[in-house]
Amino acid sequence: MNVNDQMQREIVRGIRQFVEREVLPVAARLEHADEYPHALVDQMRDLGLFGCNVPTKYDGLGLDTITFALVIEELARGWMSLVGPLGTHSVICDIIHRFGTEPQRQKYLPDLASGVRRGGLALSESDAGTDVQRIRTTAARTDGGYLIRGSKMWITNGRHGNTFVLAAKTDPQADPPHTGISAFIIEKGAPGFTVGREIDKLGYRGVETCELHFDDFFVPEANLIGGVGGRGFKQIMAGLESERLNVAARGVGLARAAFEDAIRYSQERHTFGKPICQHQTIQNKLADMATRIEAARLLVRSAAEKKDRGERCDLEAGMAKLFATETAQEVVLEALRIHGGAGYAKDLNVERYYRDAPLLIIGGGTNELQRLIIAKGLLERFAV
C-alpha cells in the first residue's frame, strides 16, 4: 500500500507518542535488568506493528517501505531492543509473502500480522555467519517431509518466537554449495526442537538471542518455502535486503536519540562561564552529527523509494545500511564525549546507546559485507 503524506505523518506521530509515553519511562530499567519487554511488545501487537509489511490482503497494515522505515526509526529512538521482536519477524513475513506458496501465505501471514505468531530467522550457525554457504544443519527427506538436524546460533526471538524461517541443506554435496540450501517454515511444538542457551550480550539487551537445536525435528513437506528445494539461499538473501533497510533505519533512530540527548546536555552544562554549546569545538560536533543523521535518513528514504517502485535496490540498501550504521556508531561516541564523565555513568541513556550501536555494524550483514555488495553492484553498473 502506498501511504499518503498525511497518513504517514499520523502513523509516525502515533508511534512517537507511544515511545514518549510508554517506552522512554521504562526502557532504562528494563535494559539494565535485561528483562523482556512483554507489556510493550503486547502494545506493539495491539498497534498492528507485527503486520507492518504484511499486505492488507493477509490482514497486515501493508505499509510501504518508507513508512515502515520511519516506524522503525521512531521505535529505535526510544529503545533499540524494541525493534528486535519486529526485525527478523518482518524479514520472514517478507520471505513468505514473496516466495511462499499461496497456502503458506494464507496459513502463516494473517497470524504473523496479528502477532499470534511471532517469528525469527534461523540462519547463522557457530561456524557460519557471513559465509552462509557453510551452514551444516541438514534436512533429510523422510515420509511426508524432512528431518532437521543441527544447531543455529544467535537467533533473535528464539525463546519468545514460535515460528521461524530456517535454512538447512537438503543437498550437502551440491556445487556450488548454496544450490543445496532450502528454506523451511518451522513451528515450535513437535519434539526435536529445543531452545538452548541465551547469549549474554554487550547491548541489545532485553531481547533474547539464543541457540536453537534440532534433533530429527520433523517438518512437513508443505512447509518447504515455495514448494521447491535448493532455492533457500536466494530467498533468504532477498529477505535480507529488507533487513538492511530495517537496520539502517534503526541506525538513524539510535543516532537521533544520542544527538537529541547531546544537544540538550550541551545547553545545560556550563564550563568556563558559558554553556558548552557555546564552545566552537562542541558546535562543530553538533553540526557534523546532525548533518550525518540527515544524510543517513535521506539514503534510507532513497533506497526505500526504489524498493517501493519495484526497482532493484540492493546497492542502495547496502549504502544506506553502511552509512546509517557507521553514522550511529560515530554519533553515539560524539554524544558520549559531549557528556564528559556523565556519559560514562549508567544513570544516563548515552552509555546504552554506546553499547547498542556496534550490533548495527554487525547485524543484517556486516559492514565489511555491505562494502563488498556495494562494490559488486558498482562494477556491474559501471562495467566497461
Catalytic machinery residues: 243
Identify which of residues 43 and 124 has a Cβ nearer to ligand FAD in the complex: 124
Whose Cβ is closer to ligand FAD: residue 285's or residue 352's?
352
Which residue in 119, 117, 198 sits closest to 153, CA to CA?
198
CB of 231 to ligand FAD, least distance (A): 18
Element (H, E) at 70: helix 65-78
Whole-angstrom Cα distance, residue 298 to residue 320?
9
* Dist. CA 188–CA 294, nearest whole Å: 42
CB of 242 to ligand FAD, least distance (A): 14
Which residue minimizes CB distance to ligand FAD?
A: 129
How many other C-beta atoms lie within 10 A of the C-beta of residue 250? 31
For residues 369, 372, 377, 383, the Cα torsion angle rounded to the nearest 10 degrees is -170
Q: Least distance from C-beta 362 to ligand FAD, angstroms?
A: 5
Of 130 and 283, which CB lies nearer to ligand FAD in the complex structure? 130
Residue 114 to residue 44: CA distance in whole angstroms: 10
Could you list the residues that contact ligand FAD (CB under 6 A)? 88, 120-124, 129-131, 154-156, 201, 204, 209, 359, 362-363, 366, 368-369, 372
Nine cell digits for residue 70: 520511519
Query: What is the closest distance, in whole angstroms, from the C-beta atom of residue 246 to ligand FAD in the complex?
Result: 12
Closest CA to 105 of 227, 217, 3, 189: 227
Of the pair 334, 356, the CB lying nearest ligand FAD is at 356
